Structure 1
Amino acid sequence: MRTGNPALKESTFLDLGTGAVVRRDGDAMTLNGTVHKTAVLLLLSVLTAAFAWSQVQFTADGPVGAGPYLWGGAIGGLVLALVTAFKKEWSPVTAPLYAIVEGFFLGAISAMYNHLYDGIVMQAVLLTFGTMFALLFAYRSGLVRATENFKLGVVAATGGILLVYLATIVLGLFDIRIPMIHESGLVGIGFSLFVVVIAALNLVLDFDFIETGVDAGAPKYMEW
């Protein structure tokens, strides 16, 4: 079982002493509980994103007021993500906090991009939700199945993309650019489409992980 989310691992469902799957018939993870908590996290993110957006002003010298939300959201989100990955039982607290600080980050950076490219944020939001619901439908209807080979392929492709972007960042420090893939030509467009497809397919892994967690009787905090 694999997932694109580093906070979710198969060992979460195992008893550390016996190595067997732990079933919690009482206070266990449920599909409805996961859906409800996801809605809460989404609402928190939207509220703080809207607030951060409203605080960003634009002058002749550039955007004003975005810095604290950008850096605070990015650094705070990284710290909370790491805490959640290592202390999953804290997720009822860390997950809402993560949603709040990421909302600040997304709101600020979205305001900046929308100022540069009017309307691009709404298009991105609609495409994101459209992709999520389309893949959820495909998964629930059986059109896309999270087989072991499918999971291995998606994880391998995701790792490859991560290495490419890490190499881009490191080489950029020495003023070296990787040609073609980050340009507006056919290769660059094709690479971008490939990245979008792999990112979308990671949702299927998460859908499968949630379903497996429910079937295994994962602890209640895993709903977060």
Structure 2
Amino acid sequence: MRSSNPVLSAASMDSFQGEFFSASQSMTIQGAATKALILLGLCFGTASMTFAMTHGGNSAAAMPWMIGGFVGALVFSIATSFKPNWAPVTAPLYALAEGLLLGAISGGYERMFNGIVPQAALATLGTMAAMLFAYKTGLIKATRGFVMGVGAATGGIALMYLAAMVLSMFGIRMSFLYQPTMLGIGISAVIVIVAALNLIIDFAAI
């Protein structure tokens, strides 16, 4: 079972054995969920600080924290991808750094569009819970065809946004990706569905 998450690759899992865990220990969805909740708590802690800054109109004070969070999250995510056995240290640091970044961004959006952040958070948690239920009950199974289809769709979406980014450098804007038209909303809905289905692959990998 291949996951698009590099930390859940077979090579990454093998690298844990003999350093932090014995080969007899199993990775479970329950254990992964518990650790994810701990990391989410760390992320929420730092996010609340920068969220309060930007939501309160003090974006200048939040900017150094946001930049530091961006750099830290990038460094720790790359380190974890290449050295998964560092995860007991790098994962909490990544969660703290990501919180600084997300909190600042979320505070800015909440200031512009009142109520958008709680809605997005609830939608995200609801999607994850629904996908976990679908996987545990067997409503959706991570078959070979399913994995290949979701992987192809994910790659296609990545290429589409990469093309949009490159074209924007030459003054060409793919506005249909961002405007609230029926096409734009439809594309966004497909992207959300594909992202949600990637969770099924991660659950199967665990």
**CA deviations over 1:2-51 (Å, ceiling 9, x no partner):** 21212221223458xxxxxxx812x5434443232111101101111111
**CA deviations over 1:81-137 (Å, ceiling 9, x no partner):** 110000011000000000000011111100000001000000000100011101110
Counterpart of 1:43 in structure 2: which amino acid?
Answer: G
CA deviation after TM superposition for structure 1 residue 190, in Å: 0.7
**Corresponding residue of 1:178:** 174
The question of whether the paired residues in 2 share the 8 Å contact of 1:53 and 1:111 is answered with yes
CA deviation after TM superposition for structure 1 residue 146, in Å: 0.6
CA deviation after TM superposition for structure 1 residue 179, in Å: 4.5
The question of whether the paired residues in 2 share the 8 Å contact of 1:71 and 1:105 is answered with yes
**Corresponding residue of 2:2:** 2
The question of whether the paired residues in 1 share the 8 Å contact of 2:50 and 2:66 is answered with no
The question of whether the paired residues in 2 share the 8 Å contact of 1:158 and 1:199 is answered with yes
For 2:111 and 2:119, the matched residues in 1 are separated by 14
**Unaligned runs of at least 5 residues, structure 2:** 16-21
For 2:106 and 2:13, the matched residues in 1 are separated by 37
The sequence identity of aligned pairs, in percent, is: 46
Task: Give SS of 1:118's match.
Answer: coil
**Corresponding residue of 1:204:** 200
For 2:103 and 2:67, the matched residues in 1 are separated by 12
The structure in which a higher percent of residues are helix is: 2
Aligned length in residues: 199
The question of whether the paired residues in 2 share the 8 Å contact of 1:49 and 1:103 is answered with yes
Match of 1:96 among 88, 92, 101: 92
Match of 1:52 among 36, 50, 53: 50
CA gap of 1:32–1:139, structure 2 versus 1, over 3 A, is closer
The question of whether the paired residues in 1 share the 8 Å contact of 2:135 and 2:200 is answered with yes
**Corresponding residue of 1:124:** 120
For 1:197 and 1:119, the matched residues in 2 are separated by 23
The question of whether the paired residues in 2 share the 8 Å contact of 1:8 and 1:85 is answered with no
For 2:154 and 2:12, the matched residues in 1 are separated by 22
For 2:88 and 2:14, the matched residues in 1 are separated by 20
For 2:201 and 2:156, the matched residues in 1 are separated by 17
State the TM-score, normalized to the length of structure 1: 0.83
For 1:30 and 1:192, the matched residues in 2 are separated by 32
CA deviation after TM superposition for structure 1 residue 68, in Å: 1.6
Task: Give SS of 1:66's match.
Answer: helix
CA deviation after TM superposition for structure 1 residue 169, in Å: 1.2
For 1:10 and 1:147, the matched residues in 2 are separated by 17
The residue correspondences of 1:146-165 to structure 2 (distance < 5 A) are 146-165=142-161
**Corresponding residue of 1:12:** 12
**Corresponding residue of 1:166:** 162
**Root mean square deviation of aligned Cα:** 1.8
Counterpart of 2:38 in structure 1: which amino acid?
Answer: V
State the TM-score, normalized to the length of structure 2: 0.90
CA deviation after TM superposition for structure 1 residue 58, in Å: 1.3
Bigger drift between 173-182 and 41-50 goes to 173-182
Bigger drift between 98-107 and 1-10 goes to 1-10
**Corresponding residue of 1:141:** 137
For 2:191 and 2:9, the matched residues in 1 are separated by 23
